[in-house]
Amino acid sequence: MKTVVIPMCHSNNVIESISSFIDRDNLSFILIGDVEETKKIAVNSGVNIDGVNLIEELNEVKACTLAAKLISEGKGDIAMKGLVHTSIFLKALLRKEFGLLEDKSLVSLVSRFIIPNYHKPLFLTDAGINISPTLDQKIKIIKNAIFVANSLGIHEPKVACLSPIEVVNHKIPSTEDGFALSQMSVFGDAIVDGPLSFDISLSKEAARIKGATSVVAGDADILFAPNLDVGNALYKSFTLFGNAKVAGVVAGLKIPVVLTSRADSKEVKVDSLELALNMK
Amino acid sequence: MKTVVIPMCHSNNVIESISSFIDRDNLSFILIGDVEETKKIAVNSGVNIDGVNLIEELNEVKACTLAAKLISEGKGDIAMKGLVHTSIFLKALLRKEFGLLEDKSLVSLVSRFIIPNYHKPLFLTDAGINISPTLDQKIKIIKNAIFVANSLGIHEPKVACLSPIEVVNHKIPSTEDGFALSQMSVFGDAIVDGPLSFDISLSKEAARIKGATSVVAGDADILFAPNLDVGNALYKSFTLFGNAKVAGVVAGLKIPVVLTSRADSKEVKVDSLELALNMK
């Protein structure tokens, strides 16, 4: 049995996103927020939440803190953001007293794309949380993505550390970090290479023409963006122009966290929760 | 009459790229390189270069310098890179004695994409030359892109200065520069706004959901990438995943420069030369 905890649940968006999960075996929900409003939304959306655990709490911070507390006590397995600011939600989950952060870890967004022009699922990180990670933080972000891929059954994921070019150039920090990361033996069940350009990472044809010999070339499972500017732009490019289906989880905590935004479609939210549920 | 000058022309790639242009009225070529080899390639490719001006010069640097000299003397209107390293080619064109650099300008790559999921041509800059431009350099890069758009008949192009978010955050330099650029009145016939995220810049739907009121929102003509990491990754993402057709020119010089790479398809080269020829 897995339990999903959602602070500030009183939103059409939240109720519709979880509607297809409500009747599943081995799955339950704890919804925290405006109980009356939540019931009203459920009725209007035709979603039966009769058996669902509802807790009244109208204050954003308190609702998020309660969610974190319940999870820290083992009463919840997955946290999902409701109608609340991301920073408040994450801050509550990261409060030291709850001990939900993995040792020496940091939180990062791991996004999984199904792209018509790519032959397998592609993970991208970090498109939403870390701005200009240091080399040490990059190690942690990559570890998080590998953890997610591993836990979804992808053994030895191929990680491409993205740069404009494949050679180290001290004027382009991403090439230096990409090379440094490729030389480390800290990543466990994964193959990390870099610096690699986008086309060599993801196109066998480009890799062939440019004579790239990396085992990651043309076959990356995880695309590691050197900073948020790159990750965020690629995320949107994949979905808007590449017709990609996307789902995402926040990794680095002891539990999967679903953190979709208001502008995401219902499908993105459903797929993200499904992704979190499938993590071992 | 326009004349295209190509140093180090003795390559299948070059000859095939220009084959459809050879017989055009009002267009001529000066090909510099290994004359015998060039003739052989033309015969093998079925391209008739009988009337073409051929100049023997086997040394890369000398061939590029001669091309720049001819253009500076008014004997050529467009430079196109042959079988030579980009740096050698550009260095020759930028030699002070030839005076080909526009006053107070810098060279930058302006790429034009035709993307199935976008309602008009989209220009992206800079995906290939400038690594981490300063604010002053960013002004020049944007001016170059506006010049190219204007000269192709696009009046008041809408320029989106790309960032992960729409508000200024001092931890994200691209947001600060994007805002600064949006406040300047130095761009002539264009509308420059920023910071703007990728989806707000290019999707009317995302702009509507997020309540963006910028006139650029969902309708950008020019996407300005804050650095090469972003520009380069987007370029490849558009072509690989977005099924985009791309063409590009180097701007900032007094003449259009065609600078495609070995791995580009013949179509990219043909379209890039066509783009350069269409510039006023």
| Interfacial residues of A (vs B; Cβ cutoff 8 Å) | 115, 117-118, 131-132, 162-164, 171-172, 174, 197-199, 202-203, 206, 209-210, 225-244, 262-263
Query: What distance separates the 2 farthest-apart alpha carbons in chain A?
Result: 63
Q: How far is CA B67 from CA B56, B58, B93, B260, in A?
A: 12, 13, 8, 17
- A219 and A120 within one domain: yes
Contact A13, A75 (CB under 8 A): no
Do the Cβ atoms of B263 and A198 come within 8 Å? no
pLDDT of residue A264: 83
- B62 and B187 within one domain: no
Lowest mean pLDDT among A80-89, A254-263, B184-193, B235-244: A254-263
* Number of residues that this document lists for chain B: 280
Question: Would you say residue A124 has pLDDT above 80?
Answer: yes
Tell me which residue in B199, B226, B239 faces A236 most closely, judged by beta carbons. B199
- A216 and A122 within one domain: yes
Contacts with B171 from chain A: Cβ below 8 Å? 131-132
**End residue of a domain, out of A68, A101, A134:** A101
Q: Is residue A259 part of a domain?
A: no
CATH number at residue B231: 3.40.718.10
CA atoms within 13 A on the CB side of B199: 19
B79 forms bridges with which residues in the sheet? Answer: B5, B257
Do the Cβ atoms of A232 and B131 come within 8 Å? no
B54 forms bridges with which residues in the sheet? Answer: B31
In this predicted model, what pLDDT tens digit does every residue of A155-184 receive, in sequence order?
999 999 999 999 999 999 999 999 999 999
Question: Would you say residue A263 has pLDDT above 80?
Answer: no
Q: Is residue A263 part of a domain?
A: no
pLDDT band, very low/low/confident/very high, at A115 (cuts 50, 70, 90): very high
Range of the domain at A95: 2-101
Q: Are strands A222-224 and A158-162 parallel, antiparallel or unpaired?
A: parallel
**End residue of a domain, out of A71, A101, A131:** A101
pLDDT band, very low/low/confident/very high, at A261 (cuts 50, 70, 90): confident
DSSP state at residue B109: E
Q: Is residue A67 part of a domain?
A: yes
Do the Cβ atoms of B262 and A209 come within 8 Å? yes
CATH number at residue B14: 3.40.50.10950
- A131 and A235 within one domain: yes
Contacts with B118 from chain A: Cβ below 8 Å? 241
- A182 and A114 within one domain: yes
Q: Is residue A26 part of a domain?
A: yes
Q: What is the mean pLDDT of residues A131-151?
A: 97
Instruction: Please give the tally of structural domains in chain B.
Output: 2
Contacts with B160 from chain A: Cβ below 8 Å? none
CA A26, CA A54: separation in Å to the nearest integer?
18
Instruction: State the best of B129, B229, B245, B246 to mutate against chain A, taking most chain A CBs within 10 Å.
Output: B229
Q: Which residue bears the tokens 């065609």?
A: B258
Query: What is the token pair recorded at A211?
Result: 């004579």
Query: What is the token pair recorded at B231?
Result: 């520009």
AA letter at B225: A
Alpha-carbon distance A160 to nearest alpha carbon in chain B (angstroms)? 13
- B92 and B38 within one domain: yes
Q: Is residue A253 part of a domain?
A: no
- B224 and B146 within one domain: yes
Query: What is the token pair recorded at B257?
Result: 């420069």
Do the Cβ atoms of A210 and B172 come within 8 Å? no
Do the Cβ atoms of B197 and A232 come within 8 Å? yes
pLDDT of residue A107: 96
- B181 and B145 within one domain: yes
CA B201, CA B48: separation in Å to the nearest integer?
46
| Interfacial residues of B (vs A; Cβ cutoff 8 Å) | 115, 117-118, 131-132, 162-164, 171-172, 174, 197-199, 202-203, 206, 209-210, 225-244, 262-263
pLDDT of residue B102: 87
Q: Is residue A11 part of a domain?
A: yes
Residue of A63, A98, A111 lying closest to A253 (CA atoms): A98
- B222 and B146 within one domain: yes
B23, burial (CB in 10 Å: exposed 0-12, middle 13-18, buried 19+): exposed
Instruction: Show pLDDT as tens, one digit a residue, over chain B (280 residues).
Output: 999 999 999 999 899 999 999 989 899 999 999 999 999 999 999 999 998 999 999 999 999 999 999 999 999 999 999 999 999 999 999 999 999 998 889 999 999 999 999 999 999 999 999 999 999 999 999 999 999 999 999 999 999 999 999 999 999 999 999 999 999 999 999 999 999 999 999 999 999 988 999 999 999 999 999 999 999 999 999 999 999 999 999 999 999 999 988 778 889 999 999 999 999 7
pLDDT of residue B58: 96
Question: Would you say residue A280 has pLDDT above 90?
Answer: no
User: Three-class SS string for B261-280?
Assistant: CCCCCHHHHHHHHHHHHHCC
Question: Would you say residue A262 has pLDDT above 80?
Answer: no
Tell me which residue in B115, B206, B263 faces A241 most closely, judged by beta carbons. B115
Q: Is residue A271 part of a domain?
A: no
CA B174, CA A232: separation in Å to the nearest integer?
12
Alpha-carbon distance B200 to nearest alpha carbon in chain A (angstroms)? 10
Tell me which residue in B163, B164, B234 faces A237 most closely, judged by beta carbons. B234
Instruction: State the best of A199, A236, A261, A265 to mutate against chain B, taking most chain B CBs within 10 Å.
Output: A236
CA A65, CA A98: separation in Å to the nearest integer?
9
Do the Cβ atoms of A164 and B244 come within 8 Å? no
- B156 and B34 within one domain: no
- A94 and A112 within one domain: no
Q: Is residue A276 part of a domain?
A: no
Do the Cβ atoms of A229 and B162 come within 8 Å? yes
Residue of A139, A134, A133 lying closest to A183 (CA atoms): A139
Instruction: State the best of B232, B235, B239, B262 to mutate against chain A, taking most chain A CBs within 10 Å.
Output: B232
- B29 and B144 within one domain: no
Tell me which residue in B131, B198, B228 faces A236 most closely, judged by beta carbons. B198
**End residue of a domain, out of A64, A85, A101:** A101
